[in-house]
Structure 1
Amino acid sequence: MKRGIGNDTEAPELAIPLRKVCFIIAKARAFDVKVAVMEPDAGSNPTDDNEIAVLQDHADDPVREELGSLISELSLDEQIDLVALMWLGRDDGQAADWEEVRQQAAYAHNEHTADYLCGNPLLGDHLEAGLDALGLSCSD
């Protein structure tokens, strides 16, 4: 177990490396800033539109596809930890309840984990808050 930052309790050993969680947080935040598509088929030149389409949430968005692929390629235990971290970060438990939250995530796991996580508009914030609750940080 790793000692938590700023407290006397020990953070649980995660199956997913901290650097992977931090990378997923960065990708999730890049996806979260997208806005609804204003003109689905504008038919104009992207440079004439100041490249605004990259900020819109298209169905075939490459950032969403990359984030989904990243999560899908994680091992079962890593996916479970990611879901548990998100739940912890959205206040569905406390750090002291980590094992219980993780067991619930394991029980709920299915082949739609990537879609479930990518469908959370605050995924990056929830993952960061979950890490923080465990005394971990991407600045480590």
Structure 2
Amino acid sequence: MELLTPLETLCRLIIRARELEAQVPANDPDEDPDNVDDFDDEEGEDQALSVLQDELNTGVEDEMRATLDDLADDQLAETLALAWVGRGTYDVSEWEDACAEANDIDPESRIDELLDMPLLASHLEAGLAAFDYSCDGVGQLD
């Protein structure tokens, strides 16, 4: 299968999806002080995991939405079909069926489905790998 969507674009989406998946809501100062998990110290500050969390940044989702919106209809359908293959909804042998179903969905709903998909980055990466594509070395200086 030859990709309609540039591999660089798909890899950029994977990177941004990973960033989006790493984000967590900021601590709410009005939150109930009795609702403290085991990793908090006496002042209620996270000790162990706070350095691993990225606060919500709507810019990442906005950038992903803009990138997906800039794709041609067939490229957007291909991206959704790749995510479905990577998720296991379709097998590689069912590629045409996945593309046909993705094409039956209106473009805005395709974008919403992609952005709402848990583990989107992993699914896209697995979908690419199913067709022997990889992001290794894409966008890096040699």
Q: What is the TM-score of this pair, normalised by structure 2?
A: 0.74
* 1:71 to 2:68 alignment: yes
Separation of aligned partners in 1, 2:78 and 2:121: 14
Picking from 3, 6, 13, the partner of 1:24 is 13
2:112 corresponding residue in structure 1: 115
CA contact (8 A) 1:88 1:95 kept: yes
CA contact (8 A) 1:72 1:113 kept: no
- Structure 2 unaligned blocks of 5 or more: 31-50, 138-142
Shift of 1:40: 7.1
Matches within 5 A, 1:1-140: 12-39=1-28, 55-57=54-56, 61-139=58-136
Separation of aligned partners in 2, 1:83 and 1:33: 21
Separation of aligned partners in 2, 1:14 and 1:63: 24
Give per-residue Cα distances to partners, 1:60-111, cap 9 Å, x unaligned. Answer: x111111111111111011000000000010011112111111111112332
Shift of 1:19: 1.2
After TM superposition, the runs of 4+ consecutive aligned structure 1 residues lying more than 6 A away are: none
Separation of aligned partners in 1, 2:101 and 2:29: 40
Aligned length: 118
SS of the residue aligned with 1:104?
Answer: helix
| 1:21 counterpart letter in structure 2 | L
Q: More deviation in 82-91 or 94-103?
A: 94-103
State which structure, 1 or 2, has the greater radius of gyration over its C-alpha atoms: 2
1:5 corresponding residue in structure 2: none
Separation of aligned partners in 2, 1:92 and 1:109: 19
SS of the residue aligned with 1:83?
Answer: helix
CA contact (8 A) 2:125 2:134 kept: yes
Q: What is the TM-score of this pair, normalised by structure 1?
A: 0.75
| 1:74 counterpart letter in structure 2 | L
| 2:135 counterpart letter in structure 1 | C
- Structure 1 unaligned blocks of 5 or more: 1-11, 42-51
Return closer, same or farther for 1:39/1:95 CA change in 2, 3 Å cut-off.
same
Q: More deviation in 101-110 or 118-127?
A: 101-110
What percentage of aligned pairs have identical amino acids? 33
CA RMSD of aligned residues (A): 2.3
CA contact (8 A) 1:71 1:79 kept: yes
